[in-house]
Chains A and B, each alone.
Chain A
Amino acid sequence: MLLGIVVTLISLWYGQNHGLLPVAASAEAILVDGLFNVMMTISCGLFLLVEGALIFSIIRFRRREGDDEDGVHLEGNIPLEIVWTAIPAVIVFGISIYSFDIYSEMGGLDLMNHNSTPTEAVKIAYAPDLENGDMPLLSDVGLGEPPSSAGQPALEVNVSGLQYAFIFTYPDSGIVDGELHIPSGQLVRLNLQAQDVLHAFWLPEFRVKQDMIPGQETRLVLEATREGTYPVVCAELCGPYHGGMRTQLIVHSPEEYDDWVQSKVAQGNTAETLANLPGSDRTDAQYLANFVEPLDLDIDADALAQLQAMPHAHMASHS
């Protein structure tokens, strides 16, 4: 009894104070962290209970010197077995429901309402009436607008992944950049696509991730809640320099964000930006350096030289 209380208290405390996650900088992150903390509480309790029972048995039920007898003949205990089938079942059921709830709050289910829209719906000869609209199970992939939000995201950014960089295009203002700038407190929609191989767009501080798939656009809708600079990380093996495929996300206050847009537009010509972006006519090594310098890594010169010698295997940056 006392033990139960202690285990519960420790678990509750640890569930809140594990310190295992980076700062939460988005609305989604706060939801996910809530889920993680609950799971961590339950896990901690379970861990202490089971490992405790194990250690207790090891000490209490060890074989004494010279004791060659068998233990008690006990083949099972149906009620007990039902209990330890039922308890995990209830726990995972609870976690499932909670996860489902969080998932829909994050806008995961929103996509069910928009059907996936490939360029043109294929007409099937023997079922000419069948359109995509009739196939409710086909939908976009990623995260959509959270149900709590009114209206559409104010800002839309097209994100393109290529070995080994991200390119951000702002259709409204024509800005093209290698870093992602967004305003806080607003819904932002990211349309993700990949130009060569699979990549994944991950924002650890936002707790969101979505693969970028060549030939299929995916999507993330998120809302930053905390200003600052955060890493953008590729989380799908995309080649040797996968580890170097990173950039930055800068969350501005709405005013600062407007200033940034102004200054970018004033600079005008995106051609220059484009030229500085990976993928146009650079070698792997050059843009690798872009991502390595902020990381403070020193890649040895040989490796770079070796890379430079390699043929350039990329498609041109998208326009």
Chain B
Amino acid sequence: MTTSEVKPAAAPASEAILGNERKWTDYFTFSTDHKVIGIQYLVTAFVFYMIGGALATAMRTELATPAPDFVTPDVYNGLLTLHGTVMLFLWIVPAGAGLANYLIPLMIGARDMAFPRLNAIAFWLIPPSGILLISSFFFEPPTAGWTSYPPLSLNTGMLGEGIWILSILIGGTASILGGLNFLVTILKMRVPSMPLTKMPLFCWAMIATSLLILISTPVLAGALILLAFDLIAGTAFFNPTGGGNPVVYQHMFWFYSHPAVYIFVLPLFGAISEVIPVHARKPIFGYRAIAYSSLVISFLGLIVWAHHMFTSGTPPWLRMFFMITTMVIAVPTGIKVFGWLATLWGGKIAFTSAMLFALGFIATFLIGGISGVMLAAVPFDIHVHDTYFVVAHFHYVLFGGSVFGVYMAVYHWFPKMTGRMMNETWGRIHFALTFIGMNLTFMPMHELGLMGMNRRIALYDPQFTDLNVVATIGSYIMAVSTIPFIINAIWSWRYGQKAPANPWRALTLEWQTLSPPIIENFEELPVLQTGPYDYGLGYIPEKDPAELYSHAGEPAAAT
């Protein structure tokens, strides 16, 4: 084994270095190592998740009683807008980008991303964007909701709204740079022995995600820039007082923001397709169907946007057109869900924390999917649009899908990222609390919406009190549920049991290097010997496990 005094500078040394010479300070620098950036993304996103969750808890506290007594309605709308924006643009998008950054090069046997510097720039746009947004809360928060529809958004305060626009433009730029990088990396940097059809499904999902980002985010930027002109320069693109059309904004906004829901969830669709085969010891069922359905979803995702506008200024033929496209998207989504189920069927399911979150993902995402098809039916959506039914629907998708997915991914790849195992018992407790809390919070919201409770309100009809109390209790359970996770993650990172290179006996390439991987990922670029999911054929996951394991131990002892 080479002992090396090479300091891990920003530009990695050309010779392969064994062991992990990373300093903790690297995580606070403009590092171009995709693994550092991936972790930077994940940790930053999680911090914002805590903030978004705190805002949600404050909202639920307000909603425990019908009257606006905990915060004023003005403040409530600020909480609402920041909660939605933080959760989407500062938690889910960066968390997905973090996983993609960390995993893609390792999974395809590359030493880094295609454009490492661009990658670092993309990450470093996130903290300013987030700090800007959060800081607005202390002088004048934006209060027009995360959709920021004009004309309301034009007369609720220029400063807050301006900050909101700027923050999302910065975040959107980061997202576009990331998407470009993922796409080029996946298409160009695979090891020669890996054809597209032997690529892990996570990479397929990231191709679909990146295409969506590249096509739709610029349209959001366009809409926001026009909105900024209306706001600051007094133009009237969307302002009816000057002859503008507010509905045009809605079209542009949703042209991005519907695809965005797939940007939020597709990376986790990819991740769960990795986790389930490993922990169920069975090949993924219908590799091609799952891979291609990602692409079909991303294409269909581009032509369903107006289903958010069924009760807006949408003429009848458009309503019918978008109803049908939206319904159709259930088909490729169904293919995935059934594929995961069939993978579990006949497997040997280990109830690791990662697997538990994967199971929770399927169970809750299914509910969001079913209510999604209902919402596509125009006559029904006319009743429930902008009610708590919709709030329930999108939280089942975003929380049940994306958040469970991120937790699953963290439990699964934590040993790879840190070289330490997480505590499984606390992981299970975390899962149980999250699952219970999540259902308690969001299940009653279906009924609330159907019965007549509109959304985005700080004060509500007292007849709805009981179910709202249940939801608030659920949200407190969820808030508590993050405590075991945080303690577990921090404690395990420092003192957890040492992780071998391949603790889950997985076949994808990221497990064929050390935990954590050396700076340039692989000593020698790996050669593909099996497909990514060839369980049950008697393959041993790595050539010589003993050697890998022994490497893993030493450098850690040296630090």
Give A contacts to B, CB under 8 Å: 20-22, 31-32, 35-36, 39, 43, 46-47, 50-51, 53-54, 57-58, 61-64, 67, 69-77, 80-81, 84-85, 88-89, 92-93, 95-96, 98-100, 102-103, 106, 108-109, 111-112, 137-141, 143, 196-198, 200, 202, 204-205, 207-211, 213-216, 218, 231, 233-244, 246, 292, 295-300, 303, 306, 313
- B383 contacts chain A at the CB level, 8 A cutoff: yes
18 CB-based A-B contacts, threshold 8 Å: A47-B370, A53-B345, A54-B359, A58-B359, A67-B348, A70-B537, A71-B535, A89-B331, A95-B373, A96-B324, A103-B379, A139-B315, A198-B246, A205-B452, A216-B313, A235-B454, A238-B152, A295-B66
Establish whether residues A209 and B331, one from each chain, have CB atoms under 8 Å apart when the complex forms.
no
Establish whether residues B359 and A204, one from each chain, have CB atoms under 8 Å apart when the complex forms.
no
Binds A, one of B88-96, B333-341, B551-559: B333-341
Given the known A-B contacts A75-B285, A81-B289, A243-B460, are A20 and B447 also in contact in the complex, defined by CB atoms under 8 Å? yes
**Cα distance, A21 to B384, chains bound together (Å):** 11
Establish whether residues A102 and B379, one from each chain, have CB atoms under 8 Å apart when the complex forms.
yes
Establish whether residues B319 and A21, one from each chain, have CB atoms under 8 Å apart when the complex forms.
no
With CB as the reference atom, state the residue of chain A lying closest to B286. Answer: A76
Chain A's nearest CB lies how many Å from the CB of B315?
Answer: 5
Residues of B within 8 Å of A98, CB to CB, are 377
Establish whether residues B342 and A239, one from each chain, have CB atoms under 8 Å apart when the complex forms.
no
Establish whether residues A75 and B287, one from each chain, have CB atoms under 8 Å apart when the complex forms.
yes
Establish whether residues A54 and B344, one from each chain, have CB atoms under 8 Å apart when the complex forms.
yes
Establish whether residues B280 and A71, one from each chain, have CB atoms under 8 Å apart when the complex forms.
yes
Chain B's nearest CB lies how many Å from the CB of A165?
Answer: 15
**Cα distance, A173 to B347, chains bound together (Å):** 73
Size of interface on B: residues with Cβ below 8 Å to A: 102
Chain B residues numbered 277-307 whose CB sits less than 8 Å from any CB in chain A: 280-289
With CB as the reference atom, state the residue of chain A lying closest to B459. Answer: A243
Establish whether residues A35 and B380, one from each chain, have CB atoms under 8 Å apart when the complex forms.
yes
Most chain B CB inside 10 Å of its own CB: which residue of A50, A80, A244: A50
Establish whether residues B323 and A50, one from each chain, have CB atoms under 8 Å apart when the complex forms.
no
Contact check: which of A35, A88, A244, A300 meets B69 at CB < 8 Å?
A300
Given the known A-B contacts A85-B335, A296-B462, are A73 and B283 also in contact in the complex, defined by CB atoms under 8 Å? yes
Establish whether residues B386 and A200, one from each chain, have CB atoms under 8 Å apart when the complex forms.
yes
- B131 contacts chain A at the CB level, 8 A cutoff: no
Residues of B within 8 Å of A214, CB to CB, are 151, 240-241, 246
- B330 contacts chain A at the CB level, 8 A cutoff: yes
Contact check: which of B74, B155, B339, B376 meets A197 at CB < 8 Å?
B155
**Cα distance, A300 to B73, chains bound together (Å):** 12
**Cα distance, A58 to B324, chains bound together (Å):** 35
Establish whether residues A50 and B386, one from each chain, have CB atoms under 8 Å apart when the complex forms.
no
Chain A's nearest CB lies how many Å from the CB of B74?
Answer: 4
With CB as the reference atom, state the residue of chain B lying closest to A298. Answer: B67
Contact check: which of A31, A99, A215, A296 meets B323 at CB < 8 Å?
A99
Contact check: which of A92, A139, A213 meets B312 at CB < 8 Å?
A213
**Cα distance, A306 to B68, chains bound together (Å):** 14
Q: With A92-B376, A215-B243 given, name 10 new contacts (CB 8 A).
A: A39-B374, A95-B377, A99-B378, A103-B320, A141-B314, A197-B152, A208-B382, A213-B246, A213-B247, A214-B246
The 9 residue pairs across chains A and B that have the minimum distance between CB atoms: A243-B457, A73-B536, A204-B452, A215-B240, A240-B73, A71-B282, A92-B327, A71-B347, A243-B459
**Cα distance, A155 to B240, chains bound together (Å):** 29
Residues of B within 8 Å of A31, CB to CB, are 379
Chain A's nearest CB lies how many Å from the CB of B461?
Answer: 6
Chain A's nearest CB lies how many Å from the CB of B94?
Answer: 26
Chain B residues numbered 165-214 whose CB sits less than 8 Å from any CB in chain A: none
Residues of B within 8 Å of A53, CB to CB, are 341, 345
Contact check: which of B243, B331, B371 meets A85 at CB < 8 Å?
B331
With CB as the reference atom, state the residue of chain B lying closest to A90. Answer: B331
- B451 contacts chain A at the CB level, 8 A cutoff: yes
- B83 contacts chain A at the CB level, 8 A cutoff: no
